[in-house]
Structure 1
């Protein structure tokens, strides 16, 4: 009866809770979730999976796990564990078990994990320990040691190493090679066990008991799994079955290893293969249309320099899959220090500057390429990221008036010109290889629609200095002094020829 009364009370409480939730969902959810959330998170140490400290700890756990995975088969098959040295083996085993228990009780319960989109951390690791104990009890009457459950940590360590390494493909090659060596290691242990089962030296096929047992058995495993051949023929049924299984496993294992190695190499060279494919397609196109050799060489040079300097042909392709917020974070870190120095945009809304950063395009110019020419309609602003550009003039456009270095900006007033834009007032060409950021006029107009105050500020700056974008490459010639002109006139009237007359002709 007491149990029945308790159940009735629980049903009443549940009914009241559902009723309150229907009347005011927001308030009921807040009241129901706040206490458990605060109790749940309070006092918990959060460890990020890419944290260096956690990766170092995983290294120790994986080292202990590899010790057991490599040495347990050796101790089982070879007579290396003796009563004289068993205390050393047990000491190392206990040390490894201590690392496993520390990982289970200290580190794993304090990791963040996602459930239904929420970051969840169990204060005492109850869920993790319960799963471990439940699995531990149901595997067998004699539970296996803790290292059997650390294979997940091994996979996690591989993922973390690839995340923190700059060249992850190197680690993938090492890991794949280790898989191959481990398969040979297991085969060597099995061969010694089979030889001991048949009797050491009983036939020509088994190990004869001479020399280093592990090295000789490993040599047998290499020749068998790689199917080199040259081994004695098996004589007994056991030896024949063992050798057949070896051959089948060798073919299957090595086909997997070769496939994995091919995938690793393909992933490591995917970017370079894409670059080569683009260049080959471009060269094929130019040859089909008989493009001049000089132009082809410049295009090849552009491909080569762009790839070597950036590691990619288009920076936008790298960020196309990122969310808008992450694209903005990358753009701020890369470009904000440069764009913030532009006097035209100082005082504008900070968010407008951030939006502008995502619209910048990186373009590489070869030595001698013209960035803009005098008389062209200005539709872009240029920011020098790397290299130098020169303002040139003269009849052959070889006279250098100004050299603009990295971090400088030119052409910014062209973005604000109305009525179809204003014309460039100078010729600008790249001096050496130059990497420029370009901001298009249309992109700026789309941004300013959402920032009217910044738009007014930019128009006011343009009205205050209409000639900000004009580069005065040759100053006007100053007028000759009156006394000097009078002296020239007297010299002419007196018929004096010489220095004064020549000087007069030069001043005309």
Structure 2
């Protein structure tokens, strides 16, 4: 779309009167209002698909409830008309921008096949009731079936929006099966009436028999008979007439195809469910097979299986990054922030940090689950990550693993000092306590490498965090101020040496550039000399550019330190000699040679 059309669209949408825009707004096809309107249109279309054919094949149904059908017909026609109005006020995307110009929307809708189908579905075919009578079979309303694409569009939107897509797919499949059997049962009853009720064992029994005159019995018998045919169960009476044979063959062929379609759809739903479970929870079958092949002891196998069972029962996820990997980076960050930012903001060392830093750190959090009795960290180990407690009770224990010093709860953290390189840290970035999981503990892990990667882009935040870490170490009496000052002085001296080396490197580069320029100048000078000597030893005249260069004295040669510049400017002696006199004629070359 050109820039002028964009401006025109914006101007037309902004110049519209506010009252008209409020009365007839332009709907966004991806918005909620349009979504709920699609759901509303499912009812009138399904009413025509299910009820109209039933009224056409069961005359008693049309006759007994005539007033109700007339009211429902008018209501569905009114909704059909409103649907056309909604189509004229539904925007569309062009170059990723929603077009709200009603003129362009209308012209685009009128040029599509949907407009003609919608108009054909609203043709007033009921006018024939005036001459044929209201009890006429409702085949006159078959043009209402042209709105079938609307329910399919609504079903696609529902499947995307629902939180249970697999259950919705199964329900949609069952609806399709019911609609097919319903239509087939109506056609079976109509064929039986055409051939004559009770004329043979295949058709519907004669309504004169007790019980078979009821409308409910007629429909249920036809529905049951159609179910037997379409499910290929068999157990149906033998056909005696050609019409019956044709009906059975016409049912068996779609029945086989429908059966395979249903089986394929169910297999697809089951596969999607298994795939979703595999995406959320790790596959234990491979681990179980690995332990069995390597003859791992049963006690350890039981612990591993208990860990997997805990994840499955309590719906714990350990691979959030893989689940959200297909989202755009910014959208993935927003989802992670909404889930984990309150937990990360509880850590004292991260409080009052920049919002961008916290968003980057949230994407680095890795959920981990520890089983009962598992050590999260041991005293003296090098700290490579910090932990934030989400759920559970990890305890600070003594070296014997039994005596408990403290039991931090949810929202607390440990190991935050070990992942920051703080000068003067007496613990040397090592664990100062043993942390053991009493039960199943769900933690968030933040590695030292991830933190350093993020802090490299936020130097000011890094300084603030190091200052907070020093304050925490001072309160714990684990900060050596003298060692910190010595390390700071050593770092400053190292930086000064690095700056001196950088300056020396710059000087060497400058001198190398000068030498390279002088070398190129001398090479050019030698090339001029050689070419001039070649032309002087031949009988052809010297080219103008060489002569001009010779008269100009070869620029750049005067910069030499050893006087070669002056010699180059003077050049070799001319044929007249250095003092302007002609040389001895005996020394001149014969031109004929």
**Which residue is 2:293 aligned to?**
288
Matched, 1:128 2:133: no
**Which residue is 2:511 aligned to?**
none
Give the C-alpha shift of residue 89 in structure 1. 1.7
1:127-148 per-position Cα deviation (integer Å, ceiling 9, x unaligned): 3355344345789999877743
* Matches of 2:68 and 2:310, distance apart in 1: 59
Matched, 1:326 2:331: yes
| Structure 2, unpaired ranges of 5+ | 126-140, 479-593
- Asked whether the equivalents of residues 369 and 441 of structure 2 are also in contact (C-alpha less than 8 Å), the reply is yes
SS at match of 1:432: coil
SS at match of 2:102: coil
* Matches of 2:358 and 2:371, distance apart in 1: 29
* Matches of 1:184 and 1:198, distance apart in 2: 21
* Matches of 2:122 and 2:4, distance apart in 1: 45
1:344-392 per-position Cα deviation (integer Å, ceiling 9, x unaligned): 1222221011111101100001111111000000111111111121100
* Matches of 1:161 and 1:254, distance apart in 2: 25
Pair 452,141 (structure 1): closer, same or farther in 2 beyond 3 Å: closer
Give the counterpart of 1:461 among 465, 468, 471.
Answer: 468
Task: Report the more deviating stretch, 173-182 or 143-152.
Answer: 143-152
1:178-197 per-position Cα deviation (integer Å, ceiling 9, x unaligned): 11111111111111121122
**Which has more radius of gyration?**
2
Give the C-alpha shift of residue 32 in structure 1. 5.6
**Which residue is 2:204 aligned to?**
207
Pair 205,398 (structure 1): closer, same or farther in 2 beyond 3 Å: same
Give the counterpart of 1:417 among 406, 412, 421.
Answer: 421
Matched, 1:442 2:464: no
Matched, 1:349 2:328: no
| Structure 1, unpaired ranges of 5+ | 1-27, 472-508
SS at match of 1:391: strand
Task: Report the more deviating stretch, 153-162 or 351-360.
Answer: 153-162
Q: How does 1:88-237 map to 2 (within 5 A)?
A: 88-106=68-86, 108-123=87-102, 125-126=105-106, 127-129=108-110, 131=112, 132-135=114-117, 147-210=144-207, 211=212, 212-237=217-242
Task: Report the more deviating stretch, 456-465 or 251-260.
Answer: 456-465
Matched, 1:387 2:392: yes
Pair 370,464 (structure 1): closer, same or farther in 2 beyond 3 Å: same
Give the C-alpha shift of residue 249 in structure 1. 2.0
The root-mean-square deviation of aligned C-alpha atoms, in Å, is 3.0
Q: How does 1:472-487 map to 2 (within 5 A)?
A: none
Give the C-alpha shift of residue 459 in structure 1. 2.1
SS at match of 2:440: strand
* Matches of 1:239 and 1:32, distance apart in 2: 62
* Matches of 1:30 and 1:115, distance apart in 2: 12
1:397-429 per-position Cα deviation (integer Å, ceiling 9, x unaligned): 211001111111111111112699611100011
**Which residue is 1:370 aligned to?**
375
* Matches of 2:432 and 2:42, distance apart in 1: 66
Normalization by structure 2: what TM-score?
Answer: 0.68
Give the C-alpha shift of residue 219 in structure 1. 1.5
**Which residue is 2:283 aligned to?**
278
Task: Report the more deviating stretch, 446-455 or 207-216.
Answer: 207-216
**Which residue is 1:75 aligned to?**
55
SS at match of 1:310: coil
SS at match of 1:429: strand
Give the counterpart of 1:336 among 333, 341, 345.
Answer: 341
SS at match of 2:199: coil
Give the length in aligned residue pairs: 442
- Asked whether the equivalents of residues 112 and 121 of structure 1 are also in contact (C-alpha less than 8 Å), the reply is yes
* Matches of 1:276 and 1:359, distance apart in 2: 19
* Matches of 1:308 and 1:167, distance apart in 2: 19
Pair 138,401 (structure 1): closer, same or farther in 2 beyond 3 Å: closer
**Which residue is 2:8 aligned to?**
35
Pair 365,388 (structure 1): closer, same or farther in 2 beyond 3 Å: same
The one of the two structures with greater contact order (alpha-carbon pairs below 8 A, sep at least 6) is: 1
Q: How does 1:399-414 map to 2 (within 5 A)?
A: 399-414=403-418
1:223-268 per-position Cα deviation (integer Å, ceiling 9, x unaligned): 1112222222111222112111122222222221222122223323
* Matches of 2:327 and 2:262, distance apart in 1: 33
* Matches of 1:359 and 1:277, distance apart in 2: 20
Give the C-alpha shift of residue 77 in structure 1. 1.5
Pair 449,271 (structure 1): closer, same or farther in 2 beyond 3 Å: same
Pair 36,272 (structure 1): closer, same or farther in 2 beyond 3 Å: closer
Matched, 1:359 2:339: no
Give the counterpart of 2:37 among 57, 61, 64.
Answer: 57
- Asked whether the equivalents of residues 113 and 119 of structure 1 are also in contact (C-alpha less than 8 Å), the reply is yes
* Matches of 2:369 and 2:317, distance apart in 1: 12
- Asked whether the equivalents of residues 121 and 144 of structure 2 are also in contact (C-alpha less than 8 Å), the reply is no
Normalization by structure 1: what TM-score?
Answer: 0.79
1:63-94 per-position Cα deviation (integer Å, ceiling 9, x unaligned): 11111000111122121355674343222111
1:159-205 per-position Cα deviation (integer Å, ceiling 9, x unaligned): 23223322222221111111111111111111112112212222222
* Matches of 1:469 and 1:104, distance apart in 2: 74
Matched, 1:45 2:10: no
- Asked whether the equivalents of residues 396 and 405 of structure 2 are also in contact (C-alpha less than 8 Å), the reply is yes
SS at match of 1:258: helix
